[in-house]
């Protein structure tokens, strides 16, 4: 179960990344955030985002047109 959830459905790039960054800033290391969004470009973007900052992309699931990411804070 995630420690935090963030619903970014309907928001286009770069809002899902920006809001995730802001939410992560308020979290502790190793806590997990679940981000749901509909921006299809974010599939690649969240990988790059986690890669740059050392966060762990635990999972990435598709649910219809929604994409659900679980990210563990570095």
Partner 1 sequence: MPNSKEMTVIASKGTLDWAYPPFILASTGIAMGKEVTVFCTFYGLNLLLKDLSHLRISPQGNPDMPMKMPFGPKWFQAIDFSQKIPNIFWNIPGMELFATRMMLKTFKNNGMASIEELRSICVEMGVKFIACEMTMGMFGFSRDDFIEGIEFAGAATYLDVADKSSQDLFI
64 within 8 A of 40, measured Cβ to Cβ: no
Two tokens at 52?
């740059």
Residue 37 among the catalytic residues: no
The active-site residue out of 9, 13, 37, 50 is 13
The nearest distance, CB 41 to partner 1, in angstroms, is: 11
CA angle (42 as vertex; 38, 43 as ends), nearest 5: 100
Nearer to partner 1 by C-beta: 34 or 49?
Answer: 49
- Which residues of the shown chain bind partner 1 in the complex (CB under 8 A)? 10-15, 17-18, 20-22, 38-39, 48-49, 52-53
């Amino acid at each position: 179960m995630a420690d935090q959830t963030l619903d970014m459905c309907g928001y286009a790039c770069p809002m899902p990344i920006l809001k995730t960054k802001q939410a992560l800033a308020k979290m502790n290391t190793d806590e997990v955030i679940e981000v749901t969004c509909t921006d299809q470009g974010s599939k690649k973007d969240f990988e790059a985002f986690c890669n740059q900052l050392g966060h762990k992309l635990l999972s990435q699931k598709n649910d219809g047109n929604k994409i659900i990411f679980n990210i563990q804070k570095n």
